[in-house]
Structure 1
Amino acid sequence: MHIEHRAQERHVLAITVDNESGILAKIAGLFTARGYNIDSLTVADISENHTVSRITIVTHGPPAVIDQIHAQLERLVPVHKVSDLTELGPHVERELALVKVAGRGDMRVEALRLADVYRAKVVDSTTESFIFEITGAPEKIDAFVALMRELGLVEVGRTGIVGMMRGANGA
């Protein structure tokens, strides 16, 4: 059992790259070539002059394969830095989701009550539905969505995970 668990280790990779076309395809290709799925992928410009982007990838795989992907990512010319947040230690992960729930009467009241408990914000409301915005750890969003399924869940949109090392130093 321990070996199976190691084979499926979850890793959060933060990759700083030149903001140029084709880099995302190259990075995704490294995972595809090895048959490993990308569980979550976010990309955003992080520089004032729009020349640098940060890609955050969440994946599962054996340590040897993750190490190999890490090494190959560092060899790509437009890649500045690759950090495995999982290996580096304590880090913060957050995700944003929009959750649409339809319902009337008691179901509507319960959806609002649970949204308050989970600190989800109403960003759109009609007489028959709400759209909630919720931010937090992926497990928090999973729990909120599971509860909303029982109350009339219509649709979910998620941004994917972004992560950052704790403390004063960058990754």
Structure 2
Amino acid sequence: MMEDKPGVLNRVVNMFSRRAFNIESLTVGHTELPHVSRMTVVVDGSANDVEQVVKQLYKIIDILKVSDLTGDKTILRDLALIKVAANRDTRAEIVQIAGIVGAQIVDIVHDSVVVQMADDEEKIDDFTRLLRPFGIKEMVRTGRVAMARGAVNVERAPDAAELATGHPHRRADGQRREAPSKKATIDLTGEAG
């Protein structure tokens, strides 16, 4: 999680660039907390690489929490909008395929159908392969978003005293808050392997 301030995204991306990490996916959006955004970054790296990235992210002052959400206890979702060529003969089949895989039709015109699918990356890839024979006219995908399953939160939010200091990394007594050994949320969803 990060404060909604100008330049934070740029500092995060620059940190990845300086360390020669390829960002496979990056999403940013509002959270349940005012003035706080959540960023999910997907990188391909070893467990050690991901640990180093988490430590480096904590050095960016506007970062409130960082969590490595790699693993089975995480819900991962992408969103795809796919415009498929359609005519009177193929439209019904496209709608049927979309229904079977849990996608939604969001627009139909005389020569195309726009399908929306929110699921994991592999299922969207499989669905896209099913639509290719009809002719994909246009496609756009979001980056991955992630959330820990169950009652587990990605880590604690900064407390009121920390936020009151204007520095989420500093406690009310002015001492620097230590980064946990591996947790917090710019949701670093690393493809560790």
Which amino acid letter does the alignment assign opposite residue 164 of structure 1?
Answer: M
Which residue of 34, 53, 75 corresponds with 1:92? 75
TM-score computed with the length of structure 2 as normaliser: 0.75
Partner in structure 2 of residue 54 of structure 1: 38
Greater C-alpha Rg? 2
Aligned residues: 154
Which amino acid letter does the alignment assign opposite residue 50 of structure 2?
Answer: I
Question: Which one has more relative contact order, counting CA pairs under 8 Å at least 6 apart?
Answer: 2
Q: CA deviation at 1:17?
A: 0.4
2:11 aligned with 1:32? no
Which amino acid letter does the alignment assign opposite residue 67 of structure 1?
Answer: E
Q: Per-residue CA shift, 1:114-151, capped at 9, x if unaligned?
A: 11111111111111110011111111111111111111
Which residue of 114, 137, 142 corresponds with 2:97? 114
Partner in structure 2 of residue 5 of structure 1: none
Q: Per-residue CA shift, 1:21-75, capped at 9, x if unaligned?
A: 11111111111112211111110121453x1000001110122222111101012
CA distance in 2, matches of 1:22, 1:131: 35
SS of match in other structure, 1:84: coil
CA distance in 2, matches of 1:46, 1:156: 27
CA distance in 2, matches of 1:65, 1:127: 50
Which amino acid letter does the alignment assign opposite residue 13 of structure 2?
Answer: A
Which residue of 48, 64, 68 corresponds with 1:64? 48
2:48 aligned with 1:82? no
2:5 aligned with 1:20? yes
TM-score computed with the length of structure 1 as normaliser: 0.85
Query: Could you tell me the percent identity over the aligned residues?
Result: 37
CA distance in 2, matches of 1:92, 1:126: 34
Partner in structure 2 of residue 8 of structure 1: none
Which residue of 129, 147, 151 corresponds with 2:134? 151
- What aligned pairs does 1:122-161 form with structure 2 within 5 A after superposition? 122-161=105-144
Q: Per-residue CA shift, 1:89-113, capped at 9, x if unaligned?
A: 5110011111100122443232111
RMSD: 1.4
Structure with the bigger percentage of strand: 1
